[in-house]
Structure 1
Amino acid sequence: MSTMNLFGNLLAQNLENHHDIPLLTLRKKEFEESVLCEIFSNKHGIDFITITYGEFFRAAEFISGFLPQEDNFVNISLKNRADFFIFASALIVSGKTAVLIPPDATDLNAYRISGAEKTIDRAGINSFMSSVRASGKILRNDDDIAPLKNRLLKLDDSAGIAVIFTSGSTSGPKAVPLSGFNFYSSFINTRNLFPYVAGEKWYLSLPPYHVGGFSVFMRALLSGMEVVAGETNPEKEDFYKELEITGSNYVSLVPTQIQRICRNKIKAPSSMKYVLTGGAPAGKDLIAKSLELGWPLYIVYGMTETAAFFAGGKVTGEEDPGFAGRPLGACTVTFTDEQAAASDRGIITVKTGAVTRGYINGEDAFNSRFSDGSFVTSDTGYSDREGNLFISGRTDNIIITGGKKVNPAEVEEALKRLLPGVQAAVIGIKDEEWGERVTAFIESDLADPTDLFLRLKNLLEGYKIPREIVYLEEFPLTGPGKIDRQTLRKNYQNLKRSV
């Protein structure tokens, strides 16, 4: 087992160097509904409450003394982000692994792993605080941080920090264990594109229990940046007001959020430097509109299995479809042709220190995709002469219709060209005659289907043209903002159809 502690050393260094600068800024209401409000009863503010690095880590250490000592894995299922981050950090300080369960999960069996018996949820917090009050112990502002630094310095890089579940947009969620070394490697590699300057602010717009949101917090812990936990819904005016008021410099947005920004013609705040987008492909028209509004877009590409993104690049609007930037830092990408669709260059394999060791309780067929720090993804793509990576589709999305393979990404790109600014998804629906029927879902009811079918003939071969178009008011999404293809397929019969 590794005895390195690059992750813990950097945490301890940031605790010492950034002790008095903000780590977490919370909306006042969210703070008041969290355990931090009782721990820091002297904290006051009008709209936001700020917690410094020193305050936060001391609170995490204090809370760790009341956590179950016998369990190595502890479930966390909390909607309140202050509670979520402080308990996740308390587990890190204790050398335990947080199992991150979406608080709105309906099928909890899908999120169970062996060894994780205790759950910190809303009821668990109430019980926890009763124990704290009964103990008579309080957090003192003058507590010496030396013992905490020593605990951080003893963390093992190979030890688990979190188990994060994949979003399950095409299959059920899989449990991904991520270690300190995984997060450290991701941080070091991606710093080749983003500077992560101490004191700069990252506006948290993604759920913290998915890798996109959790990795924002990890980057802050390792860099001295500040996380601003504000409004997450771009449909609400507060989202843009808080970006401006807080002077946020970074934000991560999925294409559906960018679409709403463009629809409402919202200009980027002057403080904004980096807008990271990933999770689903954004069309050229959407990119052009957002750039016109001043949003500095950077495409990023990665997944839960790689502790968030491992490739990325600045977007100008001139990139070819599927542009995903370049592999960052000590990361290599290769391609395998054996199982790829005819129109693709190869299945993408990534090798980096950020790759997980494999799924927990995973089937052999899934875990065989991991080997010596490399991961065979479900994505297909290619690279150009400049080393840019392009994503062309997914092996698990390929539609077989009449014995021919159809890449949904190619059909979706054609639809987006004909319907600028409109979200589209293409899946295969079981069909007795064709095996699967190419079916398009469009987040609009403005397109004339007859005209659309005719125009698609100029862009696609006949067998690739959707045989059916389904109009939706809004796409079902997974937590990270990806279109939920499982739900589309499951609810297909109940949706309004236009043929």
Structure 2
Amino acid sequence: MAVLTYHNLHKEFKLNGLVFTKESLIQAAQDYSQSDLDAEQDFGRFVLNWFDDKPYVEVKTSGTTGKPKIIKVQKQAMVNSAMATGIFFDLKAGNKALCCLPVQYIAGKMMLVRAFVLGFDLDFVAPSSHPLDQNSSHYDFAAMVPLQVENSLPQLHHIKKLIIGGAQVHPNLEEKLIHNPCQSYETYSMTETVTHIAAKRVGEKAFTILPNITISQDERQCLVISAPTLTEGDLITNDIVELISENQFCWLGRYDNVINSGGIKLIPEQIEEKLSHTITNRFFVAGIADERLGQKLILVIEGNPYDLKEQVFSALSQYEKPKAVHFVPKFKETGTGKVKRNEIVKSL
């Protein structure tokens, strides 16, 4: 059996309903790269980069925990990731798929690579917060960020399988998705692992890893990923997890977000999950320097100030209750829509 490489273009690949060979796709990409539209330029440049002689593509990280940076991702690793996704989600050649994510980031790039490798009939549309507006097509597979999903709920039944990444799925959105006929999956991903290495049905607690991945923990209880087909060596993350089995884990929070307040270690994401049922605005909790406690737990809410009733905090323990509340008119975000926690806290 021939090994699939980045030199190949699946014979069943289609773009916006048209059949392409590798040569005709490169020609179309040259035209796209000269477009006045940013999304078409990004698409064209990526296709030209994908089929050039280099074994890697340059990818911009989201900048969630620091400044965005450019890293080199091996093309063969991207092919391997696409194959693993196809197996995990039982995707076939000829499946109709939607790419509505920015191609300058890894998630958008990988939707294109999956189409090239697996032979999707791919619709490529400019990224927007309402990707299904004025679109009556039905899809076997799509990928979105939570904001796009929230805005697409009335049309979501047009998609059979949907993967959601870029940010956590809010419990309110989760509840809506559980009752939607679309099969929605939340993914665990990062640029360094060529997007997702695990996924779970929305509503479930544990992530299940994709093929050719093994997982363990370090002394901090953080996830360690071994993915020889995607990256060299073990990848040590800052994600605190609970290992359920050799192929399943529950995500608890970020080690670099942990707050040590008076000797009590608090995981912000666990507190936020409890508060998500009583606060409707976007928010997060964080620690700031405090002479007495070392770090003081604060609550930061997006929007205009308002009075918070005591019952908002009823699900929290004594140590989990914020010592102060700050309101910020508009949260700063990365290019992929993730909240820049550290930058916001520094500005308070």
> In structure 2, what residue type is equivalent to 1:330?
N
Deviation at 1:62, TM superposition (A): 8.6
Kindly report which structure 2 residues correspond to 1:70-81, keeping only aligned pairs within 5 A, or say none.
80-81=38-39
Indicate the SS of the match to 2:123. Answer: strand
- 2:28/2:44 contact within 8 Å kept: no
> What is the aligned partner in structure 1 of residue 24 from structure 2?
58
- 2:146/2:164 contact within 8 Å kept: yes
Deviation at 1:478, TM superposition (A): 1.6
Deviation at 1:434, TM superposition (A): 3.5
- 2:304/2:328 contact within 8 Å kept: yes
> In structure 2, what residue type is equivalent to 1:53?
F
> In structure 2, what residue type is equivalent to 1:60?
I
- 1:350/1:375 contact within 8 Å kept: yes
- 2:78/2:230 contact within 8 Å kept: no
> In structure 1, what residue type is equivalent to 2:66?
S
Corresponding residue to 1:197 among 54, 73, 92: 92
Q: Distance in 1 between matches of 2:240 and 2:169?
A: 17
> What is the aligned partner in structure 2 of residue 427 from structure 1?
286
- 1:298/1:314 contact within 8 Å kept: yes
> What is the aligned partner in structure 1 of residue 244 from structure 2?
384
Deviation at 1:326, TM superposition (A): 0.5
Corresponding residue to 2:144 among 217, 228, 253: 253
> What is the aligned partner in structure 2 of residue 183 from structure 1?
78
> What is the aligned partner in structure 2 of residue 241 from structure 1?
133
> What is the aligned partner in structure 1 of residue 270 from structure 2?
410
Deviation at 1:231, TM superposition (A): 5.1
> What is the aligned partner in structure 1 of residue 222 from structure 2?
347
- 1:204/1:216 contact within 8 Å kept: yes
Indicate the SS of the match to 1:482. Answer: coil
Q: Kindly tell me: are residues 229 and 464 of structure 1, through their superposed partners in 2, closer, same or farther at Cα, counting changes over 3 Å? A: same
**Structure holding more helix per residue:** 1
Matched, 1:333 2:209: no
C-alpha deviations, 1:114-160, integer Å up to 9, x for none? xxxxxxxxxxxxxxxxxxxxxxxxxxxxxxxxxxxxxxxxxxxxx21
- 1:298/1:312 contact within 8 Å kept: yes
> In structure 1, what residue type is equivalent to 2:200?
G
Deviation at 1:429, TM superposition (A): 2.7
Indicate the SS of the match to 2:256. Answer: coil
Matched, 1:470 2:326: yes
Q: Distance in 1 between matches of 2:308 and 2:95?
A: 48
Deviation at 1:253, TM superposition (A): 2.3
> In structure 2, what residue type is equivalent to 1:491?
S
> In structure 1, what residue type is equivalent to 2:123?
V
Indicate the SS of the match to 1:309. Answer: strand
Corresponding residue to 1:268 among 150, 155, 162: 155
Q: Kindly tell me: are residues 269 and 463 of structure 1, through their superposed partners in 2, closer, same or farther at Cα, counting changes over 3 Å? A: closer
Indicate the SS of the match to 2:5. Answer: helix
**Structure holding more strand per residue:** 2
> In structure 2, what residue type is equivalent to 1:273?
K
- Structure 1 spans left out of the alignment, 5+ residues: 26-49, 68-77, 97-158, 341-345, 358-371, 493-499
Q: Distance in 1 between matches of 2:229 and 2:341?
A: 27
Indicate the SS of the match to 1:348. Answer: strand
Indicate the SS of the match to 2:172. Answer: helix
Q: Distance in 1 between matches of 2:157 and 2:151?
A: 19
Q: Distance in 1 between matches of 2:161 and 2:122?
A: 14
Matched, 1:85 2:43: yes
Corresponding residue to 1:308 among 189, 195, 200: 195
C-alpha deviations, 1:70-95, integer Å up to 9, x for none? xxxxxxxx962222222222233221
Corresponding residue to 2:297 among 417, 427, 438: 438
Indicate the SS of the match to 1:241. Answer: coil
Deviation at 1:198, TM superposition (A): 2.4
Q: Kindly tell me: are residues 333 and 269 of structure 1, through their superposed partners in 2, closer, same or farther at Cα, counting changes over 3 Å? A: same
- 2:208/2:249 contact within 8 Å kept: yes
- 1:406/1:464 contact within 8 Å kept: yes
Q: Distance in 2 between matches of 1:467 and 1:222?
A: 52
When structure 1 is superposed on structure 2, of 300-309 and 402-411 the one drifting more is 402-411
> What is the aligned partner in structure 2 of residue 460 from structure 1?
316
Q: Kindly tell me: are residues 59 and 297 of structure 1, through their superposed partners in 2, closer, same or farther at Cα, counting changes over 3 Å? A: closer
Q: Distance in 1 between matches of 2:226 and 2:174?
A: 29
> In structure 1, what residue type is equivalent to 2:140?
N
- 1:425/1:483 contact within 8 Å kept: no
Q: CA RMSD in A?
A: 3.0
Amino-acid identity (%): 23
Larger Rg, first or second structure (1 or 2) = 1
Q: Distance in 1 between matches of 2:307 and 2:148?
A: 26
Q: Kindly tell me: are residues 418 and 228 of structure 1, through their superposed partners in 2, closer, same or farther at Cα, counting changes over 3 Å? A: same
Deviation at 1:280, TM superposition (A): 2.4
Q: Distance in 2 between matches of 1:389 and 1:82?
A: 38
Deviation at 1:61, TM superposition (A): 6.0
Matched, 1:397 2:284: no
Taking structure 1 as the reference length, the TM-score comes to 0.62
C-alpha deviations, 1:337-393, integer Å up to 9, x for none? x2x2xxxxx110111135434xxxxxxxxxxxxxx2x20111110122584321101
Matched, 1:163 2:23: no
Matched, 1:451 2:310: yes
> In structure 1, what residue type is equivalent to 2:183?
P
> What is the aligned partner in structure 2 of residue 218 from structure 1?
113
Deviation at 1:445, TM superposition (A): 5.7
Q: Kindly tell me: are residues 57 and 297 of structure 1, through their superposed partners in 2, closer, same or farther at Cα, counting changes over 3 Å? A: same
When structure 1 is superposed on structure 2, of 168-177 and 441-450 the one drifting more is 441-450
- 1:201/1:250 contact within 8 Å kept: yes
> What is the aligned partner in structure 1 of residue 339 from structure 2?
483
Aligned residues: 344
Deviation at 1:422, TM superposition (A): 4.7
Corresponding residue to 1:356 among 231, 234, 237: 231
Taking structure 2 as the reference length, the TM-score comes to 0.86
Deviation at 1:475, TM superposition (A): 3.5
Deviation at 1:223, TM superposition (A): 1.0
